């Protein structure tokens, strides 16, 4: 279980998504007003503007799916299906990030030039998607190896 490449990729995915708690996705600054956008929403929000999408739920769901997928090493088909679901959840999170970052700037009456993207925080879900892709590829290789060994018997 632990010596498989996809297990390492899934654990890296968990680490990367856990780091989204630390790093914000974007910062909004206009004069003395400074607002940080992270997975829990907006910090120091004076205009009662809120994000539309609950990122902490999708990040927690993705981490949970990844950890559960690590334990399903004996059932590769289920592990692959969990990986596909996780891939969709991460993709949904990234799409909603793009939508929310620009809409929050409009709701705060700031221009798009006032958005400072935090590259580290913004790229963490993208890196998680890459790790999920690599894990799914490793699972497919294992399944092909087992099928080829069954043909030899």
Q: What is the pLDDT of residues 106-152, one digit of tens each?
A: 777 777 777 788 889 889 999 999 999 999 999 888 888 888 877 66
Q: What is the pLDDT of residues 17-75, one digit of tens each?
A: 999 989 988 888 766 777 788 888 777 665 666 666 788 899 999 999 999 999 988 88
Q: What pLDDT score was predicted for residue 10? A: 92
Three state DSSP letters for the chain: CCCCHHHHHHHHHHHHHHHHHCCCCEEEEECCEEEEEECCEEECCCCCCCCCCCHHHHHHHHHHHHHHHHHCCCCHHHHHHHHHHHHHHHHHHHHHHHHHHHHHHHHCCCCHHHEEECHHHHHHHHHHHHHHHHHHHHHHHHHHHHHHHHHHC
Q: What is the CATH classification number for the domain harbouring 100?
A: 1.20.140
How many separate domains does the chain show?
1
- Boundaries of domain holding 146: 5-152
Q: What is the pLDDT of residues 109-122, one digit of tens each?
A: 777 777 788 889 88
């Amino acid at each position: 279980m632990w010596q498989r490449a996809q297990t390492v990729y899934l654990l890296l995915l968990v680490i990367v998504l856990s780091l989204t708690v630390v790093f914000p996705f974007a910062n909004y600054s206009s004069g003395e007003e400074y607002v940080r956008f992270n997975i829990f929403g907006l910090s120091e929000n004076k205009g009662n503007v809120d994000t539309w999408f609950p990122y902490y739920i999708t990040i927690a769901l993705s981490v949970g799916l990844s950890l559960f997928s690590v334990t399903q090493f004996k059932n590769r088909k289920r592990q692959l299906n969990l990986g596909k679901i996780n891939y969709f959840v991460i993709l949904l999170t990234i799409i909603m990030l793009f939508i929310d970052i620009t809409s929050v700037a409009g709701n705060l009456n700031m221009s798009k030039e006032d958005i400072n993207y935090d590259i580290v925080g913004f790229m963490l879900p993208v890196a998680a998607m890459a790790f999920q892709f690599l894990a799914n590829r490793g699972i497919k290789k294992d399944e092909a190896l087992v099928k080829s060994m069954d043909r030899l018997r």
